[in-house]
Structure 1
Amino acid sequence: MNKIKMPVFKYSYRIDPDERQIIYTNICDISTPSRSFYFMVCISTIIATYGLLANSTAVVIGAMLVAPLMGPIFGIALGLSNGDNKLLRNSVRSELLGMLLAVALAAIIGLVPLRPDFATEIVARTQPTIYDIIIALASGLAGAYTMVNRKLSPALPGVAISTALVPPLATVGLCLAAHNYEWALGAFLLFLVNLLAIEFAAAAVFFISGLVKLNRENGLVVFFRRFGLSLVILLVMGVFMTQTLINIVGDRALAEQLRESLSEQIKTTVGARLSELRYERKDGVLNVMAVTLTPQQFEAQRVEVIEKALQKE
């Protein structure tokens, strides 16, 4: 019986040998610490922080466009893949100092008086879910592919928009300034997950495209040896983030159920309607607070009927 051999990467994009050094140099350039790099970190952090405070999605997107933090992540991926310790050190230094600079600057802005309450743009970045890992993996694949295939370089700004790096760091700084350490931790986990997912995805692209020369027979072994830790961390965090998503979906369903039940009870009073609904779990007990607009005050007996109806839900 004849054996049919099919190359694993036959249908993947392969880098022209003449372009390999050019691409390698480009990644080294965007990974190297420089004044312009840190200047852009400051500018993007200012834009992101005030965009978060203003609850403006468009402004936050603008910050993603000018943020330079994806470059060093590509450098980390390439440095680990190719065993280039100098590139790896420079990239780690750039990313670490850029991260600290972004958090510190956002925290300083958060200490300024007349700061508004945290809006949905901030809260959304404190509860990362499995969706964020999937988005980061896709962004890393797209971003690295645009780096190795220069014909697609115009698509790089679109990749930057899909990648949340500076906004989570700005959220960390704002939450630290407000002494909300739980939310700060959630936002930092979002940044960390994005970093690891982009790094892993980019390394896969560099390997498959031929930017990194590895032996075809043991290449996968070498790849997973170098990036196994990142993969394990992503898998572990993915489990927790899946549970977070389940909790969020459950909370939304509960809120809708409570809203429908309250609305049914309140509308029996002519002219009354539900204005606001809030709830919290404490010591295994669900506490519900509702604000209603009524032409007259509810009697104690009527409130008791509504409470009993909620307890049955």
Structure 2
Amino acid sequence: MLLKSLKNTLDGVLNIQHETDEEGTIREIYDKTPIRGNNTWMLICSAMLASIGLDVSSGAVIIGAMLISPLMSPILGVGLSVGINDKEMLVASVKNLALAALAGLIVSTFYFSLTPLGEPTNEILARTQPTLLDVLVAFFGGVAGIVSISRSDKSNAIPGVAIATALMPPLCTAGYGLAMGKFNYFFGGFYLFFINAVFISLATFLIVKYLKFEVKHYLDKQKERQVARIMGVILFIVVLPSVYFLYNIYKDLQTKKKIENLIVKDFAGRNNEILKWEIANTDSLNVVKIYSVGNKLEEGLVGHYNGVLQKNSLGDYRVKVVQLDVSAEDVQQMASQITNNLTRDFLKTVEIQKLHSQRLDSIHRQEAKVYTSGQATSDLKLLFPEISKAQVGEMVVASEQQKQDTVVLVMLDWQSPQPKPGQSKQAAKLNAASVREHESRISSFIARKLNRDSVQVVSRF
């Protein structure tokens, strides 16, 4: 009873068959599979953007190339066609995928043949040595992709799948290898692309079978059995290399872990600081390079390590220690010195910015003073023709609480305006009310111009 209840609970949580739109899924994948028209332009732009992103090591540009790449649909089409036994869709999907891969290689090879940069960036190097994690990303990305497309209410998971599986960048890395004549880069990049394509297709096939899509039947049963056998052989041929690649990846990881346990950890325990270690593969031998600082190597230590490798079925590996002529203390001292230099440079930058700010404030104050002495008189006389003379300056005053304050003092000499026709000189004279009104306006004007709070205006006649 408990097991049945648990099964029903899991079935309710994991079951996606009731949300599946079989006809819509097949139609959407089939319609987007052909590489022609808009898809061709999108493919070219995606390959060019990915190549530029790899060349300048720009993650943002590479992500943009992943989002617009139309490579996902033919790959999903391969898995779907095998799952529903549709020979025509399989042929069309494989043909369009091959065409898209060829176009991506041509565009990226053309770009890297012309670029003035062309150095192997970190983004390029990251796609030349696929690992087991890349296989898992491709598989689960493919599961997410087909589940998203098969839903009756479409989701926005496809862009995330495109970014996660990253189909175009490894293909462009292969193009970089062709353009530069570095065939290990070509095989590494194309190998990663192949892994992604195979395991996305495999994930699609498995989900299609899980969702029980209707399998295509033929009137001629013999032909149907023949098509089924052909599909099975094709699936076996496609999956078999990926199993071999997966085995090689697993084997390489196990070998690296074994060397680390046998050699690297023992070497680090001899009071030697390891800066880094790597395995350099050659045609005849594989060299385990250890870059170290610290104590002088014991005589015969490298030979001892080679013997350890020989006893543990790693006879085609040899140890090479690169001993740098500095001690561990020197390395720590250099690191400390670099840190101190960076801190000092930062403080110096802050001090320079502070001095620069102080100088700007001084310049602004000088500019205010220049305005005070030079332009205030002409501006005031222009605004108030009745002023015959204007003087603007600063005055320090003390309040009853013995606090000092700086006040802008404006001294004005007023003259009576010229009488209008028919008006007497007495009538044309300024009255006290007019002067007070002018003083208020002048005070506001000077305060705004000089950005000061305290302005005192004194008038004389």
In the superposition, relative to structure 1, how do residues 123 and 147 fare at CA in structure 2: closer, same or farther (>3 Å)? same
In the superposition, relative to structure 1, how do residues 45 and 113 fare at CA in structure 2: closer, same or farther (>3 Å)? closer
Q: Report if the CA contact (8 A) 2:279-2:287 is conserved.
A: no
2:248 to 218, 240, 244: 240
User: 1:122 corresponds to which letter in structure 2?
Assistant: I
Quote the residue 2:199 is aligned against: 197
2:156 is paired with a residue whose SS is helix
In 2, distance between residues paired with 1:256 and 1:64? Answer: 40
Quote the residue 1:187 is aligned against: 189
In the superposition, relative to structure 1, how do residues 308 and 54 fare at CA in structure 2: closer, same or farther (>3 Å)? farther
Per-residue Cα deviation, 1:69-90 (whole angstroms, up to 9, x for no partner): 0101111112222222222222
Quote the residue 1:218 is aligned against: none
Deviation of residue 284 (structure 1)? 5.7
In 2, distance between residues paired with 1:284 and 1:26? Answer: 49
In 2, distance between residues paired with 1:200 and 1:281? Answer: 31
Quote the residue 2:344 is aligned against: none
In the superposition, relative to structure 1, how do residues 98 and 214 fare at CA in structure 2: closer, same or farther (>3 Å)? closer
Quote the residue 1:167 is aligned against: 169
2:17 to 14, 17, 20: 14
In the superposition, relative to structure 1, how do residues 24 and 249 fare at CA in structure 2: closer, same or farther (>3 Å)? same
Deviation of residue 150 (structure 1)? 3.9
Q: TM-score, normalised by structure 1?
A: 0.75
In the superposition, relative to structure 1, how do residues 23 and 191 fare at CA in structure 2: closer, same or farther (>3 Å)? same
Quote the residue 1:149 is aligned against: 151
User: 1:204 corresponds to which letter in structure 2?
Assistant: L
Q: Report if the CA contact (8 A) 1:133-1:197 is conserved.
A: yes
In the superposition, relative to structure 1, how do residues 278 and 148 fare at CA in structure 2: closer, same or farther (>3 Å)? closer
Quote the residue 2:46 is aligned against: 44
Deviation of residue 146 (structure 1)? 0.3
In 2, distance between residues paired with 1:263 and 1:304? Answer: 6
In 1, distance between residues paired with 2:210 and 2:93? Answer: 22
In 2, distance between residues paired with 1:118 and 1:251? Answer: 28
**Where do residues 48-127 of structure 1 align in structure 2 (5 Å cutoff)?**
48-127=50-129
Q: Does 2:148 correspond to 1:140? A: no
1:68 is paired with a residue whose SS is coil
Per-residue Cα deviation, 1:224-264 (whole angstroms, up to 9, x for no partner): 77634433332221101112334566788988998998975
Q: Report if the CA contact (8 A) 2:63-2:163 is conserved.
A: yes
In 2, distance between residues paired with 1:109 and 1:261? Answer: 49
In the superposition, relative to structure 1, how do residues 30 and 112 fare at CA in structure 2: closer, same or farther (>3 Å)? same
Q: Report if the CA contact (8 A) 1:172-1:185 is conserved.
A: yes
Per-residue Cα deviation, 1:19-46 (whole angstroms, up to 9, x for no partner): 4322221111111232211111111111
In the superposition, relative to structure 1, how do residues 42 and 194 fare at CA in structure 2: closer, same or farther (>3 Å)? same
Quote the residue 2:402 is aligned against: none
User: 1:117 corresponds to which letter in structure 2?
Assistant: E
User: 2:16 corresponds to which letter in structure 1?
Assistant: Y
In 2, distance between residues paired with 1:257 and 1:112? Answer: 48
In the superposition, relative to structure 1, how do residues 172 and 203 fare at CA in structure 2: closer, same or farther (>3 Å)? same
The structure richer in strand per residue is 2
In 2, distance between residues paired with 1:84 and 1:171? Answer: 33
In 2, distance between residues paired with 1:13 and 1:105? Answer: 40
1:111 is paired with a residue whose SS is helix
In 2, distance between residues paired with 1:255 and 1:48? Answer: 37
In 2, distance between residues paired with 1:288 and 1:228? Answer: 42
Q: Report if the CA contact (8 A) 2:112-2:118 is conserved.
A: no
The structure richer in helix per residue is 1
Per-residue Cα deviation, 1:89-137 (whole angstroms, up to 9, x for no partner): 2211211111000011111111114224101211111111111111111
In the superposition, relative to structure 1, how do residues 286 and 149 fare at CA in structure 2: closer, same or farther (>3 Å)? closer
In the superposition, relative to structure 1, how do residues 255 and 50 fare at CA in structure 2: closer, same or farther (>3 Å)? farther
Ranges in structure 1 where 5+ consecutive residues have no aligned partner: 216-220, 266-273, 293-302
Between structure 1 and structure 2, the one with the greater Rg is 2
Percent identity over the alignment?
A: 25
Deviation of residue 68 (structure 1)? 0.9
Q: TM-score, normalised by structure 2?
A: 0.53
Q: Report if the CA contact (8 A) 1:72-1:94 is conserved.
A: yes
Aligned pairs, how many? 283
Ranges in structure 2 where 5+ consecutive residues have no aligned partner: 218-227, 305-320, 322-461
In 2, distance between residues paired with 1:107 and 1:252? Answer: 38
Q: Report if the CA contact (8 A) 1:15-1:149 is conserved.
A: no
1:134 is paired with a residue whose SS is helix
In 1, distance between residues paired with 2:63 and 2:257? Answer: 26
1:130 to 129, 132, 153: 132
2:166 is paired with a residue whose SS is coil
